[in-house]
Amino acid sequence: MSHLSIPVQEAALFLDLDGTLAAIAERPEDVVAEPYRTGLIRNIDRALRGRLAIVSGRPIDDIDRILDNAVKYVAGIHGLERRGPSGIFESAEPHPQLDRVHSILASFVKHRPALHLEYKALGVALHYRQAPQAAAEVLNVARRLAWATGLKLQEGRMVVELRTPGADKGDTVRDFMKAPPFCKTTPIFVGDDVTDEDGFAAARELGGIGVLVGSWRDTKASARLHSVEEVLAWLDAALATGSFELDVQI
């Protein structure tokens, strides 16, 4: 293990939301704005001179709600929606089978109240956090629908998502890093889920680092923070010291 110190003035920071900045909730809508987190994010964004982006599976409107519009640059639905350095809101076109799949999954969960169906403009997510025993059944249904429709299957922690094919979190990092204010800096991508692996890989490819939040696993990240609380403390420490301090494990 070695220690890495990246000066704030040389860094670009990409942060996942759920499980990284906010604790995982039973239902996505249960996550709400918190004044301390909002203030911290505003201060980090100011210290980075705008080189902060939130890259989440949530839609951008929902990210703005939870972070109280604290961040200018945001990518939602794993990168299919973007409010990036171009200054233009960009969004993929919804897949033509999306409404049909939503209808099928709505029927599937009707008699399975422990499952939670989340509709997004560009995807449908099926959460089974309250019914872990249903994992195999949920994954089987999702895989069959992905095969039948051409939607992309995105597996996460206790959730599967069928979404419009297109950009992922890694593509978002690469594209943001091409333009001011992100270009010519060192990217740090922080996330907790398997959906963040693309972001970790892109950060490493561009000379930066991926930071896994939570238990260690087979990952493309090189450093780890143990919890949401530790992420917030790490950000607070960066404000105090002027650098992002990380213990590199691989």
> What residues act catalytically?
16
Closest CA to 15 of 87, 70, 61: 70
Angle separating helix axes 228-241 and 35-47, nearest 10 degrees: 40
Is residue 28 within 8 Å of residue 89, measured between CB atoms? no
Residue that is written with structure tokens 């909002």 in the block: 38
Q: DSSP strand E in 10-72: where?
A: 11-15, 52-55
The DSSP bridge pattern shows strands 81-83 and 2-7 to be unpaired
How many CB atoms lie under 10 A from the CB of residue 36? 9
User: In the structure encoding, which two tokens stand for residue 205, read together?
Assistant: 């490819």
Cα separation, 127 vs 60, whole angstroms? 19
In which element (H, E) is residue 116 found? strand 116-119
Closest CA to 44 of 250, 223, 208, 231: 231
**The one-letter amino acid at 35:** P
User: In the structure encoding, which two tokens stand for residue 53, read together?
Assistant: 């982006």
Closest CA to 82 of 64, 62, 60, 67: 60
The DSSP bridge pattern shows strands 209-213 and 186-191 to be parallel
Collapsed DSSP state (helix, strand, coil) of residue 38: helix
